[in-house]
Amino acid sequence: MTVLEDRIAMAESDSENTLDEMFERLEKMPVPEGYKVEIVEGTVYMSPQRDTHWEIILDIVEQLRTKYPRKQVKSDVRIDYPGHLNGFATDVTVMAEGAEKTEAGHWRHEDVEFVAEVISKGTATNDYGPKKAAYATAEVPVYVIADPYQRRCHIYTQPKKDDYEIETTVPFGSSLNLTGTVVGLTLTTDEFPHD
């Protein structure tokens, strides 16, 4: 290992420890019921789960369950992503078959095959910005943003460096054709509510 590789490994280790410490402190705090907590680039975000938000998440999960077993589909579970202090609690995540937690008890971003985020007004810039960049850097093959304010979904595929090469925009009411991706399904949006 070169000196540079050693320093990078130390910095990543320090970030992980700091991220673990931040989450440990958050777990001791009185977070209000129904709030989602995550850390994006070292900043803690707490956002309430609205009915619209939850209904879209549940709809996506139910459709994914037609193909994936329950143990592969996650919601609001911490996964650490590349970048400075990124511990996301993604709205919907599909893990690769056979994925296992690390010794520290965390899921690995290398095992994520699909991510879906449902936009909240207060955190939308994260989903379209630093989280999208982190998912691309982690080479998550499919990233979907469901935006109830725009009444459309954005499908991002073919990650390259810190962005996706392909973006497809689909209005609510139309289908999300993911058959040509690792997901291998078409998701409907007919019942997605909007704000």
Encode pLDDT of 79-114 as tens digits.
999 999 999 999 999 999 999 999 989 999 999 999
Measured distance CA(1)–CA(5) in Å, rounded: 6
Residue 90: both structure tokens together = 């993604």
User: Per residue in 159-189, pLDDT tens?
Assistant: 999 999 999 999 999 999 999 999 999 999 9
Measured distance CA(57)–CA(60) in Å, rounded: 5
Residue 75: both structure tokens together = 């919601």
pTM for this model (two decimals): 0.83
What distance separates the 2 farthest-apart alpha carbons in the chain? 54
Average pLDDT of span 12-34:
72
Beta-carbon contacts of 180 under 8 Å, excluding residues fewer than 6 positions away, are none
Give the pLDDT score at 17.
63
